[in-house]
Amino acid sequence: MGLSLMDWIIVAAYFVISIGIGLYMSRRASNSTQDFFLSGRKLPWYIAGTSMVATTFAADTPLAVTELVATNGIAGNWLWWNMLFGGMLTVFFFARLWRRAGILTDCEFVSIRYSGKAANFLRGFRSLYIGVFMNIIVIAWVNLAMVKILAVMFPDLLFFGYDNVRWAGLEFSSHLLWVGMIMLFVAFYTSVSGLWGVSFTDSFQFIMAMAGCIALAVYAVGTADIGGVAGLKEKLPEWVFRYAPVVGDSAGSAPGVAGLLKLSFTAFVAYLGVQWWASWYPGAEPGGGGYVAQRMMSAKNEKHSLLATLWFQIAHFALRPWPWIVVALAALVLYPAETDKGATYVMVIRDYLPSGLTGLLMAAFLAAYMSTIASQTVWGTSYIINDLFRPFIKKGGGEKYYVKVSRLTAFLLLALSFVMTTQFSRISDAWKFVLACSGGIGLVLILRWFWWRINAWTEIAAMLAPYVVFPVLVYGLGWDVYDKDFPLTLIVIVIWSTAVWLAVTFITPPTNIDTLKSFYRQVHPGGKGWKPVTHLIPEVKGDSGYGKLMLNWLAGCVLVMCVLFGIGKLIFGQNLWALGYFVVALIAGAIIYRNMSKMGWEKVAE
């Protein structure tokens, strides 16, 4: 089914509003790199937090959730719900520290925390490794999802008369070429408006994307083939609606749970006990980082930084998943024989939505796609300019000069990502590679705030160690690292990497004491891990109340999980269960508010 005139008008209106926001914000982003990359540190919490959520809402996310639900029921989402535990650590332990650090990028943290040539190398290496290499991988897999969406919606789509184009030994399909045109649009408004435009555009795009997904969920369940929520429950087995995974190698033999998320003990440990604190992953970095740190550092003050990150966790894990899950369940009924389960999400749009709503959903997917690409681009460009180009290639340039180079770099970064897209065929392999080969760095990213002995060589060792053992597991032992052996692969890499970086930490000299004192004066994180430094600067008062922070972390996790499960129970008509979950969520929220009030954070100036 093609798009009607009304659908195209809605899509066109979306593009006009997006570019209008970018142009309106362009003047604010032109004065300095701090304005371009951090919005002048003036973002309110609701804009900064919503921008975080919009960035993680990529075009591939509903498709990935549909695949998880099709294979393992609602419980399959624990493969990403586990990241809440690390995200809530960021809220209460790290958000205020990132804002307090006064830096432009999380990569620049290296320059205030470490010293010597190793620190300079690490800063430049991280800017290339994460800002370029990892970043273009992320953008490439998001591109792949958008290509799939266009292929399902417009299977005969040509690019100005061409089905595909060959250039420099690479083949570009017509759908990928149209994605490239969308990337050019994103590059334009991103390069013009910086984080100012990206953040406000993200907020508009998030509202657009959520409205579309909610409308799709309501319409899909209401079709005659489903017959409402009651009909959905009648047509699907009971195990599909369970939240809790079954743990144990023999779980699959239990009657009535075939297809439920069955985790072996190894997989349970890997996903729920290790992954959330041990691995680096975009948007879920232990201790914060990447575009999440960028938003925290752009907030008005420490209070806004904390509230932005808390709103991100609630919206990301509790509010956003259910429209996707409901459509995924409906797709199981509507397309039972379809092998590409992720594509069935788009098929519901194509086959069941009327004119107008189809355009809204296409605009919603474009919003989800563009918000992610825009944020990844600004974030990656900030690394290249602030942590590579300015300190090592072109020192002493004016602010307007660096803004100009930033705009050119944004186009170059997206061009590299576009080419990289042709080299991927499976999105899942890409993100599993990222998780595995960042195994072990997570604990370092946490401890560097609270243990003086962590140095630049520690981070370098933790980043490189996985690449020593990974090929041994793949080629030496023949492990299926992307499928059945992935959980064990992750655990082995984490153990190996941890042993390596601990050894390197103690055989290399510590960071210069003057650098450590300067860092502590600026950030004053507190804790016993800084005792050798704090006794040298007794006039600096470090943070305290870590018992309350741990209680807040636990209460925050309970709050989000109860809201998540409560909404699910409400959708499926289990109102008493929903009420119970919401009451517990209110109690958890009250505990957080009481502890924050006692610690005085509500007194931070607006």
Q: If DSSP codes are grouped into helix, strand and coil, which group holds residue 299? A: strand
Place of tokens 């489903």: 226
Length reported for the chain: 606
Cβ pair 421, 183 in contact under 8 A: no
Same domain for 182 and 47, yes or no, is yes
Q: Of 401, 434, 467, which closes a domain?
A: 434
Same domain for 430 and 449, yes or no, is no
Q: Which two tokens stand for residue 384?
A: 């290249």
Same domain for 309 and 397, yes or no, is yes
pLDDT tens for residues 589-604?
Answer: 999 999 888 776 544 4
| Helix ranges restricted to H, 437-471 | 441-447, 456-464, 466-471
Predicted TM-score of the model (pTM): 0.85
pLDDT tens for residues 36-46?
Answer: 776 778 889 89
| Distance of alpha carbon 392 from alpha carbon 394, whole angstroms | 6
pLDDT tens for residues 179-193?
Answer: 888 888 887 777 777
Q: Of 416, 434, 452, which closes a domain?
A: 434
Question: How many domains, the chain?
Answer: 2
| Distance of alpha carbon 556 from alpha carbon 592, whole angstroms | 7
- Measured torsion, CA atoms of residues 395, 398, 404, 410, in degrees rounded to the nearest 10: 40
Does 246 have pLDDT greater than 70? Answer: no
Same domain for 215 and 295, yes or no, is yes
Q: How many CB atoms lie within 10 A of CB 24?
A: 14
| Distance of alpha carbon 606 from alpha carbon 603, whole angstroms | 9
pLDDT class of 308 with cuts at 50, 70, 90: very high
Does 475 have pLDDT greater than 60? Answer: yes
Place of tokens 């060589």: 457
pLDDT at 424: 61
Cβ pair 240, 73 in contact under 8 A: yes
pLDDT at 251: 40
The arithmetic mean of pLDDT across residues 498-518, rounded, is 96
More confident residue, 185 or 446: 446
| Distance of alpha carbon 357 from alpha carbon 217, whole angstroms | 12
Q: Would you give the DSSP letter of residue 474?
A: I
pLDDT class of 253 with cuts at 50, 70, 90: very low
pLDDT class of 111 with cuts at 50, 70, 90: very high
Give domain status of residue 275, yes or no.
no
Same domain for 480 and 335, yes or no, is no
| Distance of alpha carbon 94 from alpha carbon 100, whole angstroms | 10
pLDDT at 52: 87
Q: Which two tokens stand for residue 227?
A: 């017959």
Q: If DSSP codes are grouped into helix, strand and coil, which group holds residue 407? A: helix
Same domain for 474 and 392, yes or no, is no
Nearest CA to 594 out of 552, 544, 542 is that of 552
The arithmetic mean of pLDDT across residues 262-268, rounded, is 64
Same domain for 303 and 154, yes or no, is yes
Q: What is the CATH number of the domain that holds 428?
A: 1.20.1730.10
Provide the residue range defining the domain that includes 467.
437-502
Same domain for 451 and 302, yes or no, is no
Q: Of 447, 474, 502, which closes a domain?
A: 502
Q: Would you give the DSSP letter of residue 512?
A: P
Same domain for 312 and 459, yes or no, is no
Give domain status of residue 93, yes or no.
yes
| Distance of alpha carbon 457 from alpha carbon 169, whole angstroms | 40
Q: How many CB atoms lie within 10 A of CB 181?
A: 9
pLDDT at 179: 87
Same domain for 422 and 443, yes or no, is no
More confident residue, 12 or 278: 12
Q: How far apart are the first and last CA of the chain?
A: 51
pLDDT at 601: 56
Give domain status of residue 78, yes or no.
yes
The arithmetic mean of pLDDT across residues 445-456, rounded, is 95
More confident residue, 111 or 140: 111
